[in-house]
Structure 1
Amino acid sequence: MTDSARTSQQSGPRDPWFRQHPVTALVVAAVLYASVLMLTVFTGKPGDDYFLLYVFPVALIAVTFGLRAGAAAGAAAVALIVVWVAARDVSLTTSGWAARGASMLVLGLVLGRASDRLRRAEVERRQLEAGALLHREAIEINDSLVQGMAAARWSLQAGQLEAGLKILDETLGQAHELVSDLIRRAGMSGRSEPVGEP
């Protein structure tokens, strides 16, 4: 495998910060929930739309953890709206509840589902890239070994026994190095049995 191919494989797109640090994302979301709750309960008037700020923690959790967490994040926002209603003695109509509660739930579900699909698509893309890379390497190994064995055969047919055996030894050594490199890069260097066996 060439150095440029290895570099391109290692320099793929990196996950955003919230996927790299999910615990930090959860802490940030919790702080946002608490901040918005404080705003709605202790400042402003009941008609103020501070509750809309719950979209930030709901969105953060949904894109970080996916559909189920997004639904839970939307439900948490609805629960905090209920706390606000009880604490400020606010009277909401059915449409008022729907506008506040349903929007948070739908946001969590939609973003969570989109995040799950994006994650699956990224996994599939990486698998396809890995398969294409292995295919290219298999062709390179095949070409290299076939050429070496063909050269050894020609030497042996020409009666050049020593030269043929030397080429055959070099080809076997090259084959061992190539296969060992593939096993090492696959992380299987500690296994002594085939992958399919227990």
Structure 2
Amino acid sequence: MNLLLRDRAGQPWFHRWPAASIAVAALLYAGVFALRMTTGTPADATMLFFELPIALLAVTFGLVAGLAGGLIAVGLMVIWAVTEHIDLSLLGWVTRALPMLLLGVLVGRAADRLRTSEAERAKLDAAAHWHRQAVEINDSIVQGLSAAKWSLEAGKHERALETVTDTLDSAQTLVSQLLRDAELSPGAAHEAGSLSSLSVLAQRAKRVRGVTPRPNRPRAETAHRTPRP
């Protein structure tokens, strides 16, 4: 089970389908603008509905998109004022435009900071995952080699070779699983390279299966030479 992959099914719909967010925002802009052009009086606060698409763009794409969404709303408001010959004072323009721009900037900035925080947490989770797996592989290899060493000391060479082979097989299985995780996980190139080297080493070790190591023959003792007088 890959612990590094993010569960997109648990994310909001506007994060899973960004294109749909743009489409919904465009429909909201068009609907609010049509409502402002066809109904109500200039005193009505119909333009406040522009905050819906602004917030949607900001929370989906961040600060830049939120600011762009606010500017789009202000542009549509200018078109409405020019088309309908609405004469607004400076205060009237500020009270209508400034809240939209601030909404896009503040919500977009908060969304960017949230994404940065989630990315940092994902890095920490990934580091903890690799650490746990490294400890597991290390323990498996150390325990297997220790058992093989004891077998060699007891003169059980076939048993030692079998223990080493089983240890390498187990290590290769763990490494293969980690390689699959590394291929699916962004930013895991370094771990994938290290694991590939270990996997190659384990595969090479399989070639010695069935080869029984021969004990080293003791060297012939040299004849004792009597020192010359």
- Normalised by the length of structure 2, the TM-score is 0.77
Runs of 4+ in 1 over 4 A off after TM superposition: 7-13
What amino acid does structure 1 have at the position aligned with 2:95?
A
C-alpha RMSD over aligned residues: 2.0
Match of 2:63 in 1: 67
Contact 1:46 1:88 in 2 (8 A): no
Q: Secondary structure at the match of 2:43?
A: coil
Match of 1:45 in 2: 41
In 1, the alpha carbon distance for the partners of 2:21 and 2:7 equals 23
What amino acid does structure 2 have at the position aligned with 1:95?
L
Q: Percent identity?
A: 45
Residue of structure 1 aligned with 2:109, choices 109, 113, 127: 113
How much does 1:17 deviate? 0.5
In 2, the alpha carbon distance for the partners of 1:176 and 1:194 equals 14
In 2, the alpha carbon distance for the partners of 1:69 and 1:109 equals 9
For residues 41-74 of structure 1, give each alpha carbon's deviation from its aligned partner in whole angstroms, at most 9, with x where no partner exists.
Answer: 1100110000000000000011111111111100
In 1, the alpha carbon distance for the partners of 2:111 and 2:6 equals 22
Given the alignment of the two structures, is residue 166 of structure 1 paired with residue 171 of structure 2, yes or no?
no
In 1, the alpha carbon distance for the partners of 2:106 and 2:17 equals 22
Stretches of structure 2 lacking an aligned partner (at least 5 in a row): 195-229
Moved more, 10-19 or 36-45: 10-19
Contact 1:57 1:73 in 2 (8 A): yes
How much does 1:185 deviate? 1.7
Match of 1:145 in 2: 141
Match of 1:21 in 2: 17
How much does 1:180 deviate? 1.8
Moved more, 122-131 or 43-52: 122-131
In 2, the alpha carbon distance for the partners of 1:156 and 1:10 equals 44
How much does 1:31 deviate? 0.6
What amino acid does structure 2 have at the position aligned with 1:35?
G
Given the alignment of the two structures, is residue 100 of structure 1 paired with residue 96 of structure 2, yes or no?
yes
Moved more, 177-186 or 152-161: 177-186
How much does 1:12 deviate? 4.3
Moved more, 14-23 or 179-188: 179-188
Match of 2:118 in 1: 122
For residues 9-53 of structure 1, give each alpha carbon's deviation from its aligned partner in whole angstroms, at most 9, with x where no partner exists.
Answer: 667473210111111111110110011101111100110000000
In 2, the alpha carbon distance for the partners of 1:59 and 1:49 equals 17
- Normalised by the length of structure 1, the TM-score is 0.88
Residue of structure 1 aligned with 2:81, choices 75, 85, 93: 85
Q: Secondary structure at the match of 2:183?
A: coil
